[in-house]
């Protein structure tokens, strides 16, 4: 199924992106100063959004394929594949569960980067009269 190939490729891209982000964090910790500018924050936020949507789309496509494999679609003459390949379908199900976990973690990571980005745009804490 091409949806499973798409899922594997999307997870590989997400893993590579996470590795690059991890290395960026390590380098910034070793240097001792965290240089966090607005353009960098926008780039991180945009990358996190792209990866989150990519993994969500891949999981959705693979889940749809898994449902068709499990239940079939008699109207379209698609048979139940999992009746013939039970062990393979179990492994696909386990992979889908872990991919859902990856996808949810990317959504949380995207929320964290959104918070970090929009924190840079925080307004001044007081008004012109000096009151909060």
| Rounded CA separation 39/128 (Å) | 29
Q: Interior CA angle at 25 toward 24 and 30, to 5°?
A: 100
pLDDT tens for each residue of 50-89: 999 999 999 999 888 888 777 766 665 555 666 677 787 7
When mean pLDDT is compared across 13-22, 77-86, 113-122, the lowest value belongs to 77-86
The per-residue pLDDT for 114 is: 87
Q: pLDDT band at residue 117, thresholds of 50, 70 and 90?
A: confident
Name the pTM for this structure: 0.75
Delimit the domains of the chain by residue range.
Answer: 2-118
DSSP the chain: -HHHHHHHHHHHHHHHHHHHHHHHHHHHHHHS-----HHHHHHHHHHHHHHHHHHHHHHHHHHHHHHHHHH-BGGGTB--STTT-HHHHHHHHHHHHHHHHHHHHHHHHHHHHHHHHHHTTPPPSS-TTS--
């Amino acid at each position: 199924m091409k949806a499973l190939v798409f899922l594997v490729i999307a997870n590989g891209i997400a893993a590579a992106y996470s590795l690059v982000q991890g290395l960026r964090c390590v380098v910034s910790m070793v240097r001792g100063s965290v240089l966090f500018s607005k353009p960098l924050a926008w780039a991180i936020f945009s990358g996190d959004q792209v990866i989150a949507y990519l993994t969500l789309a891949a999981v959705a496509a693979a889940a749809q394929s898994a449902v068709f494999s499990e239940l079939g679609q008699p109207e379209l003459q698609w048979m139940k594949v999992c009746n013939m390949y039970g062990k393979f379908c179990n492994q696909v199900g386990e992979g889908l569960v872990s991919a859902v976990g990856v996808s949810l973690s990317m959504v949380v990571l995207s929320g964290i980067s959104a918070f970090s980005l929009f924190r840079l745009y925080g307004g001044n804490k007081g008004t012109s009269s000096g009151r909060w």
